[in-house]
Amino acid sequence: MTELRKINIDGTEYEVPGDYTLMQACEEAAGAEIPRFCYHERLSVAGNCRMCLVEWVGAPKPQASCALQVKDLRPNRDGTPPNIRTNSETVKKAREGVMEFLLINHPLDCPICDQGGECDLQDQAMAYGRDASRFEENKRAVDDKFMGPLVNTIMTRCIQCTRCVRFITEVAGVEEIGLAARGEDVEITTYLEKSLTSEMSGNVIDLCPVGALTSKPYAFNARPWELDKVETIDVMDAVGAHIRVDSRSGQVLRILPVENDAVNEEWISDKTRFVADGLSRQRLDRPYIRENGRLRPTGWDEALALAAQKLKGDPEKIAAVAGDLCDAESLMALKNLMDSLGVKNMDCRPAGSIMGDPVAGGSRAAYLLNSTLEGLEQADALLIIGANPRFDAPLVNTRIRKAWLAGGLDVGLIGTPVDLTYAYEHIGTTPDEIAKLARARKGFATRFRRANNPTILIGEDVFSRPDAPQILRKISALSSKYKVVREDWNGWNVLHKAAARVAGLDLGLLPGEGGLGTQGILDGARSGAIETLYLLGADEIDTQGLDKAFVIYQGHHGDAGAHVADIILPGAAYTEKSGIYTNLEGRVQMSSQAVPLKGEAKADWAILRALSAHVERVLPYDSLEALREKLFTDYPVFASFDHAPGAAGGADFDLTTIGASGDVSDAPLMSPDVDFYMTNPVARASKVMAECSAIQADVAQQEAAE
């Protein structure tokens, strides 16, 4: 623990850690408010705005509190603790001087600025600004810069705090924003004004304190005080980032991050942030029935009656597949309905996946990110197998980069080489490299063996390979040899891609005895063995060739599932319902409804409850509260909110039960070439995501040509 130092702040003596900055000491110990522009808790210290000046009694001039540590302060001549003043006349005058300099070139365009109403410069100008400017010369004008389809620039407003530069370099790991020129001529720019390509680039908008960088899709749409703001959970990946949905008149206008140190810190990916327009496009807002090859609108009674008729057939010829965005309540309702009908053909996993099967491990810990998101920062050796964290789960990648930047993390990769924004040793591409690594005596193997907290990150796609059991056996052997799992540490981690996956596995939404998984269901639907197929938001499966089956699709967008559906039952998007989601580390989270349902759409659990009445298998709940009560009773794991089990959840985790013996294929371990911006129906409906996807494709083409 850091040695405590005594310091006198505004006449009161405190004891604070010596490595605290003056800003931290003044705010956390004394409760003083220190203004700042360049300083940010999660970025390196720049110390270039000087707004955080405080008075160190005895020093010749005010000090930048963000750049001076308590341990650097010398005691007074009489041996008493150093005196710091945060509200003296000297401090006030110094901050007023800084503010006057900052406003010399800043335009007076607050009425048309998208930052208006939530601008740090506005707030601090009210406290330290003058009522009139003494600067009579012409203001400096700076050309706006092109940064792509997401970030709008008004660079005349820029005060060169460099938050954006430090974020894109340090957190995003892509050096795409920098400073050009010197002195008064300095400008923030991109290299040759190219589009930002980082999947985390939108966070610079939140970081900018003055409105120089704003959201291009949101530009001039609304003022902050006009918006209804609701905190909820993101479902664009399996991380479960905490977000705030801002809407007006029932339409989502923007999505912002909510600080949560345990999950997303205060970052979100660009897909999470800018997918908002997709929530209003290509929506299913009424039931449909297909007749003579065409869909016609209908009422709920007719649609449910026809669906019930098809579900009353032979249970062996009925199947259900759940998609990637479903909440736990709808997943349980689907499982309860299929169980009541005697249907054993159901699944919540990608085609061919063995995740959740006994061969893949008998405990919950076998499919979780057991190290937890925060715990990844404690890892000192990380082996990535068949995954691309940068696009599978960008916030997991930022955690890994954070640990790597701290200097204590060695990273190795088995699989196709990818740009992960941090250095790693590429061990090989095929599964047999896992066994070779267990026998190796040099390179990454040595560092992995000596690690205090060795960690393995397994891509979700590994579980869908034909040789998945054999690969898992090799990984479990490696984990046992190097003590990846022990009483106080569980470094066995699965990198999920879908928000619904862990909840589906926890509920056991898997094939019953003798039942078919996703691949078998699809094959059966193509051959005619499966006559009725129920798709609960399942749009990521291969829907080609399903014309022999009667397809009932329940979802919220006119995507792949709706294109092959014979009946469409319109459900709710994630912003239109309160639901329970379990993230990749096993953390149960509750989302909140931010906007009303579209048209005649209904909550997903309510649709399944109504359908159960039509098939004369009435589910034992008629309200969301009653459903959740049964959920918590039948599956107690869902009753523990906002808790990641970590190593404690692996008490019954036996590595020796994982996998099966046999040879592995020589096919490369790799994550499929999936467009990051087009991974779900909401994203595919978004014009903004389509533009990002096109830019990403152009960049990839240029890199391939080079």
Digit-coded pLDDT (tens) for 404-463:
999 889 999 999 999 999 999 999 999 999 999 988 888 899 999 999 999 999 999 999
* pLDDT score of 531 more than 80: yes
What band does 544 get if pLDDT is binned at 50, 70 and 90? very high
Of the candidates 246, 198, 266, the one whose C-alpha atom is nearest the C-alpha of residue 41 is 266
Weakest mean pLDDT among 127-131, 435-439, 600-604:
127-131
Is the distance from CB of 471 to CB of 661 less than 8 angstroms? no
Query: What are φ and ψ of residue 249, in 5° steps?
Result: 55, 40
CA 179 to chain centre: 29
| Cα gap 436→433, rounded to integer Å | 5
* pLDDT score of 561 more than 70: yes
Percent of the chain with pLDDT over 90: 87
| Cα gap 370→574, rounded to integer Å | 26
Rounded to two decimals, the pTM is 0.94
For 181, counting Cβ atoms within 10 Å of its Cβ (0-12 exposed, 13-18 middle, 19+ buried), the class is: exposed
pLDDT at res. 672: 67
pLDDT at res. 671: 67
Q: What is the mean pLDDT of the chain?
A: 94
pLDDT at res. 706: 66
What band does 548 get if pLDDT is binned at 50, 70 and 90? very high
| Cα gap 587→368, rounded to integer Å | 10
pLDDT at res. 133: 83
User: Which tokens hold the place of 186?
Assistant: 């300095």
Residue 291's beta-bridge partner residues?
Answer: 294
Weakest mean pLDDT among 54-63, 136-145, 492-501, 526-535:
136-145
Q: Which residue has the higher pLDDT, 459 or 193?
A: 459
* pLDDT score of 560 more than 70: yes
Q: Which residues contact 652 (CB under 8 A, 6 or more apart)?
A: 363, 365
Digit-coded pLDDT (tens) for 210-226:
999 999 999 999 999 99
* pLDDT score of 183 more than 90: no
Helix (H, G, I), strand (E, B) or coil at 450: helix
SS3 readout for 515-571: CCCHHHHHHHHHHCCCCEEEEECCCCCCCCCCCCCEEEEEECECCHHHHCCCEEEEC
| Cα gap 664→631, rounded to integer Å | 39
Distances (CA, A) of 163 to 75, 116, 241: 33, 19, 22
pLDDT at res. 135: 85
User: Which tokens hold the place of 136?
Assistant: 């009579």
Q: Which residues contact 207 (CB under 8 A, 6 or more apart)?
A: 40, 43, 163, 164, 167, 213
pLDDT at res. 5: 92
* pLDDT score of 276 more than 90: yes
* pLDDT score of 649 more than 80: no
Is the distance from CB of 425 to CB of 400 less than 8 angstroms? no
Digit-coded pLDDT (tens) for 148-178:
999 999 999 999 999 999 999 999 999 999 9
User: Which tokens hold the place of 418?
Assistant: 């990818």
| Cα gap 64→86, rounded to integer Å | 11
Query: What are φ and ψ of residue 439, in 5° steps?
Result: -100, -15
